[in-house]
């Protein structure tokens, strides 16, 4: 297992190089002038030339790329050309917000998706199966920005039950320990802030959970149907085991590998920054940071952000691969 992990970690090197080249070329080939985006439309030619020289934009692309990679090797992700703050500090400040939102969304998606998929498989072609699969199709198909706006309109503005934006009400104060507001509220015993942060968290997490919930439900149903037809399931039932034991201990465990893969990929997507969700709900996460950086042509933030998000994806895939051997003992990594 250790040898396999080391091999996978070494495999990150060509992935990082490839992603860095794509990110670098993408941000430099987009129409527009970063210097003019920084200084504004009324900037003089002299000031534009000075900014281009300061940022190294006059150098050839390969020189700029080598300089960018040289900084990365030294652990320097650069500075934002808009705020002049370190890129890694901006991501470290925003990452807990995205992590908190992603954990809440994936918790909802896993609990509802797996349960709906199992029940749909056990009661195939029943009314529950039909309704859940129609709901899953709706969850995959509906645009997330439309769903988020409709949820805001209904639950925040019409019913007044939940909050529509931000992580905490302006009038409340919370001592930040981990920058995870729910956790910090518990650690500091600030129950008013805990209740308020949960009210702010529910709507964006529900909106963000719709797509992974639908995918997990459909994958669980499909995998469970395949396993329930196996001979060992009929043998377990013939031995007189309770139906719950057959379903959850024998069938679900053996059907869980493809579901686990989907969970890992979806969680990586959420951690990578749900741009639309964070923008609609004014959630100060890395998705909204990337959106603002793209709009402002803040290419150091965009380049480093793409690399960080790619590393998150690769790391989660590595964790999922390791979990395979624990979920299914038949799998052995040589």
Strand ranges in the chain using DSSP code E only, listed in sequence order: none
Q: What is the mean pLDDT of residues 107-115?
A: 92
166 assigned to some structural domain: yes
> Same domain for 255 and 110?
yes
Residue 93 pLDDT greater than 80, yes or no: yes
Q: Which of the four pLDDT bands, split at 50, 70 and 90, describes residue 1?
A: low
Are 69 and 100 in the same domain?
no
pLDDT band at 220 (very low <50, low <70, confident <90, very high): very high
Give the pLDDT of residue 56: 75
Which helix (H) or strand (E) segment is 243 a member of?
helix 243-245
Whether residues 23 and 138 share a domain: the answer is: no
Q: Which of 75, 99, 71, 73 is nearest to 89 (CA)?
A: 75
Domain annotation covers residue 79: no
Q: Is the pLDDT at 108 greater than 90, yes or no?
A: yes
The answer to whether residues 139 and 39 belong to one domain is: no
In terms of residue numbers, what domain contains 201?
Answer: 96-327
pLDDT at 243 exceeding the cut of 80: yes
User: Cα separations (Å) of 180 from 95, 111, 156, 168, 331?
Assistant: 10, 22, 23, 11, 36
Token code pair at residue 171: 């009038």
Structural element, H or E, at residue 299: helix 299-327
- Mean pLDDT across 114-128: 91
SS3 274: coil
Q: What angle do CA 212, 213, 215 make, to 5 degrees?
A: 60
In a domain, 334, yes or no: no
- 284 and 142 in a single domain? The answer is yes
Report residue 86: phi and psi, to 5°.
-65, 135
**93 to each of 90, 98, 276, how far by Cα in Å?**
5, 10, 19
User: What pLDDT does 205 receive?
Assistant: 92
DSSP 8-state symbol, 330: T
CA distance 251 to 257: 11
Beta bridge partners of 79: 86
pLDDT at 116: 92
Q: What is the structure's pLDDT at 110?
A: 92
Number of domains, the chain: 2
Is residue 277 a part of any domain in this protein?
A: yes
Nearest CA-CA partner of 94 in 301, 297, 313, 307 = 301
Per the domain annotation, does 78 fall within a domain? Answer: no
Q: Does residue 160 share a domain with residue 298?
A: yes
Mean pLDDT of 30-38: 69
Task: Report how far residue 266's alpha carbon sits from residue 211's, in angstroms, rounded to the nearest whole number.
Answer: 9
Residue 84 located in a structural domain: no
Mean pLDDT throughout 160-164?
83
247 vs 324, higher pLDDT: 247
d(CA 43, CA 50): 11
Q: Is 66 helix (H, G, I), strand (E, B) or coil?
A: helix
Q: What is the CATH number of the domain that holds 293?
A: 1.10.3720.10
Q: Is residue 12 a part of any domain in this protein? A: yes
Q: Is the pLDDT of residue 204 over 60?
A: yes
Question: Are residues 46 and 129 both part of a single domain?
Answer: no
pLDDT tens digits, one per residue of 59-72: 787 888 888 788 77
Alpha-carbon dihedral angle through residues 195, 192, 102, 141, given to the nearest 10 degrees = 40
* Site of tokens 């290419």: 299
């Amino acid at each position: 297992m250790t040898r396999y992990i080391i091999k996978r970690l070494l495999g990150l090197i060509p992935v990082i190089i490839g992603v860095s080249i794509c990110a670098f070329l993408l941000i430099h080939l987009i129409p527009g002038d970063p210097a003019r985006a920084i200084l504004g439309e009324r900037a003089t030619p002299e000031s534009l030339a000075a900014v281009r020289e300061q940022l190294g934009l006059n150098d050839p692309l390969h020189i700029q790329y080598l300089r960018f990679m040289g900084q990365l090797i030294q652990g320097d992700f650069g500075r934002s050309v808009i705020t002049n703050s370190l890129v890694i500090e901006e991501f470290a400040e925003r990452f807990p917000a995205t992590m908190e939102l992603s954990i809440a969304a994936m918790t909802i998606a896993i609990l509802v998706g797996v349960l709906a998929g199992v029940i749909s498989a056990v009661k195939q072609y029943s009314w529950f199966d039909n309704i859940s699969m129609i709901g899953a199709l709706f969850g995959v198909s509906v645009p997330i920005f439309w769903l988020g706006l409709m949820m805001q309109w209904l639950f925040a503005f019409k019913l007044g039950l939940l909050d529509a934006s931000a992580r905490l009400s302006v009038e409340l104060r919370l001592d930040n320990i981990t920058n995870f507001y729910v956790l910090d509220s518990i650690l500091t015993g600030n129950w008013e802030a805990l209740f308020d942060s949960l009210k702010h968290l529910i709507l964006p997490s529900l909106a963000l959970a719709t797509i992974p919930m639908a995918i997990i439900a459909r994958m669980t149903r499909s995998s469970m149907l395949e396993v329930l037809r196996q001979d060992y399931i009929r043998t377990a039932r013939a031995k007189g085991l309770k139906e719950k034991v057959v379903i959850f201990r024998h069938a679900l465990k053996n059907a869980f590998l493809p579901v686990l893969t989907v969970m890992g990929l979806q969680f990586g997507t959420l951690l990578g920054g749900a741009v639309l969700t964070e923008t609609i709900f004014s959630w100060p996460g890395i998705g909204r940071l990337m959106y603002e950086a793209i709009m402002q042509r803040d290419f150091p933030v965009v380049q480093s952000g793409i690399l960080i998000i790619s590393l998150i994806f690769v790391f989660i895939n590595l964790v999922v691969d390791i979990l395979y051997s624990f979920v299914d003992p038949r799998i052995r990594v040589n």
